[in-house]
Structure 1
Amino acid sequence: MCGFLRYLFKKKRYIEETDAMKKFLIVGLGNIGAQYHNTRHNIGFKILDHFASLEDLNFETQKLGDIATYKLKGRTFIFLKPSTFMNLSGKAVLYWLQKENIPLENLLIVTDDLNLPFGNIRLKTKGSDGGHNGLKDIQDKLNTTKYNRFRFGISDAFSTGRQVDYVLGDWTNDENSKLKERLDLSCDLIKSFALSGVNNTMNTFNGK
């Protein structure tokens, strides 16, 4: 009987581990509040909102953020828009990773990047925070720089001393006209991340 119980325990543990590997936490970084809705710094929120509109998903306010769940080909995507404001994003990320028992390699942070031209996308598996306070807090809370991040270029078209105004400024009319295609591509990248793996996704999408 003890042997049978050990078998059941191992089987249960295997099922739990297998299920965990099929769950993905997709975190869009941004600031809450209507005044930030269409700002460059909120591209993480914007990409997740676009995904939700395409797939008819609804976000619900839960602990430390708004959550939406999506299932595709045996994978479960948990989308998170932290309500902690950008600079304290790590608290929400760590909480939902632990709550949903999601392995670190299945985490994807979606964020803006001043060092990339407008609309360029780049997926990386590790790296520094690059001066981004949201990424810095995530790094501090996770105690590692080895986590997947999807960077969306917002360019650095600002004059000296105007960086804060620029990232917290609204998209221009020209940028807005080009965003739809870039948002569609971003959603395709997120699906590929879960279905095809990070390496294949980097090879397919980086530089587009």
Structure 2
Amino acid sequence: MSATTESMPNPIEELFRCATRETADRMTIWTAGSISLRLEGLTETELHEISDHLGPIDRMATMVLLEAEGEIGGTLVLLFDDDSLDAFLVAMTGEPVLPGERTPLQESALLETGNILASAFTGAISDATVLLVLPTPPILLTDYVASVLEQACMAQAINNEKLVLTRTRFERNGEALDWQLVFIPDGAMRDWIDSGPRLRDGAL
């Protein structure tokens, strides 16, 4: 059985909404207003039920992977749908996308997108919690989504029957994109969430 935001501590939901707003603002600037994003939910679920919340994960996909490190942290996974990704890369770089390959400039655009989103997301969390949270350099990969997500969940799964994760959806010019930004807290952040923490006054 899975649970949604109703069972999560309200300050935690608000923390991730704040982080998503900061991330959305940065994404809007980066893409000249063409792409926006919103928090779709904060979910508590068992490992084998992740696909119920994120959609099909037994597939290959282009992803940008980053770790949030510090006193609390986790893993950020930016998932792309390749068809809409090609249009994004053309708009960002002015270069055509050839089947099965990307230019160095296109790869750089993807990595910088991940870096911008992660910096905004972790910065908002750090500001609200007064805890050190910093993103690692982004990694671009094409892999099975299930494999990447399951590995990212291991730190939580060691001590918790259910996992906490967030889901963020993207839109381009008002139309939904099949992209997701998934944040999976690590063991330290999960312990922090379960402790019922208070956030900095005026942070949200």
Q: Fold-level match, TM-score > 0.5? A: no
Relative contact order higher in (CA < 8 Å, ≥ 6 apart):
2
Q: TM-score, normalised by structure 2?
A: 0.30
Greater per-residue helix proportion: 1
Higher strand share: 2
Larger Rg: 1 or 2?
A: 1
| TM-score normalized by the length of structure 1 | 0.29
